[in-house]
Amino acid sequence: MIVELVEFRQPAGWERERILADAKTTVAKWTANKDLVRKHFVMGLRDDAGVGAGIYIWPSMEAAQKAHDAQWRAAIEKRTGSTPTIRYFDLFLLIDNEHGTVTEFPAAAEIQTAAA
């Protein structure tokens, strides 16, 4: 599994309610994407106020990159006025206290190939 962290500057003057309303406009798009396992919409607090982020769980880096193509980046820049930064992580172990589970994931194909 892949964790993708997408960060961007929130538009000046946007409060939580407006950010939430804007995020809700994307729900149909993300629920329709069958590759997406999970998405968290987050916003920075304290020293990170003004930073918005999406934390995505994908089965592969290919799925993440397909969803966040040049057209998507352009749309983010238009909506927020900032260029998103994207980082990828290998999700190898997940503790889910809500469901009482611990899940270990095998290395993603991209990671196995890079290590070879």
Domain 2-90: assigned CATH number:
3.30.70.100
Instruction: Let me know how long the chain is.
Output: 116
* pLDDT tens-digit map of 27-74: 999 999 999 999 999 999 999 999 999 999 999 999 999 999 999 999
pLDDT in tens, 1-34: 999 999 999 999 999 999 999 999 999 999 999 9
Q: Which residues contact 5 (CB under 8 A, 6 or more apart)?
A: 53, 54, 55, 56, 86, 87, 88, 89
Residues 6+ apart with CB under 8 A from 60: 2, 35, 108, 109, 110
pTM of the model: 0.88
Rounded CA separation 85/71 (Å) = 15
- Residue pair 92/105 in contact (Cβ under 8 Å)? The answer is yes
Domain ranges of the chain: 2-90
